[in-house]
Amino acid sequence: MAQLIREWAGINTFAPATQTKLLELLGKLKHENVNTLTILVMGKGGVGKSSTVNSIVGERVVTISPFQSEGPRPVMVSRSRAGFTLNIIDTPGLIEGGYINDMALDIIKRFLLNKTIDVLLYVDRLDAYRVDNLDKLVAKAITDTFGKGIWNKALIALTHAQFSPPDGLPYDEFFSKRSEALLKVVRSGARIKKDASQASTIPVVLVENSGRCNKNENDEKVLPDGAAWIPKLVQTITEVTLNGSESIHVDQKLIEGPNPNQTGKLWIPLILALQYFFVIKPIRGFIKKDIATESRPSWETHESETNFSGRDIF
Ligand code: GDP
Ligand code: MG
């Protein structure tokens, strides 16, 4: 059955200036022969993934919740406009009780089978003061699932961007400190070397999903740095799409593919065999030889009636 893709009517809800910029960007993509764009949205729970999906589509297409009770399944929303199709995939948070939710990850992988990811939108909050091991675990889980290459197709979106940094810290300075800290932990979780060109090229963009977002004189939603964030986000998505790196096609091989834990397991029989030949066998040999050549201890020669069961100890 041919899939009927809905018209991307949500664009019409944006300020006219924003609409113009978005249509321009879609035109640019079509000009580069990109007629379909699939964005995968990932991150921890409650950071604003679903809200960001709604903001981009311009409709309330996925459920948002302040209480991290996300559905267990990913949702793909498709919209088309002037011969261009946008697919955006919202996913459940990857962390549960301080650990990676392997089941959620597995469901996401299966959902993505035979799909091609053009852009990974990694979402976190701007108004957070520290990065922790969980961020690293999420980056690692994404890398283990899709391969390092996914980070060539990634951008980081920081939500709650209408925010006043503490202690009178300038907004731009807070933004760059927060970005750097997050990039560092993502790189380490993704095992990207610091000097690799990939490291500096993951763009970070700001997002404000709240209905109370400030607007400029053109009625566009703007952030404390003055930027209209929707066109900027879509522009960055366009740049990542056209950056020349390969999109990630999710096939059966990738889904079942070399999980680092399993790769490790392949070595177990070999290590056991080596242990047998190089450790256990020689030791046995030594012991046998030892027993054979053992000179009788003096007490034994003295009391010749001593039974030999004592040797069984060895
Ligand atoms: P998800 O679990 O990552 O999908 O997060 P949701 O999109 O469900 O959002 C979690 C909560 O944060 C909801 O109450 C949203 O209204 C709120 N929220 C999300 N993004 C923003 C944002 O940019 N600004 C503000 N003020 N609230 C946000
Ligand atoms: Mg959600």
What is the atom index within ligand 1 of the atom nearest the CA of 45?
A: 2
- Residue 24: other Cβ atoms inside 10 A: 13
Question: Which ligand is the nearest neighbour of the Cα of 161?
Answer: 1
The packing angle between helices 16-31 and 229-241, to 10°, is: 0
Q: What is the pTM of this model?
A: 0.82
Q: Whose CA is nearest to atom 16 of ligand 1?
A: 66
> Residues 247-287: pLDDT tens digits?
999 999 888 876 555 556 677 788 888 888 888 888 888 88
Q: Average pLDDT in the 135-163 region?
A: 95
> Residues 62-102: pLDDT tens digits?
988 777 665 678 999 999 998 999 999 999 988 878 889 88
**Would you say the CB of residue 213 lies under 6 angstroms from ligand 1?**
no
Return the SS3 of 149.
helix
More confident residue, 122 or 297: 122
- The CA distance from 238 to 108, in Å, is 24
- Residue 226: other Cβ atoms inside 10 A: 9
The CA-based dihedral angle spanning residues 189, 190, 193, 194, taken in that order and rounded to the nearest 10 degrees: -60
Pocket test for ligand 1, best of 55, 64, 126, 135 (most atoms within 8 A of CB): 64
Pocket test for ligand 1, best of 40, 50, 51 (most atoms within 8 A of CB): 51
**Would you say the CB of residue 49 lies under 6 angstroms from ligand 1?**
yes
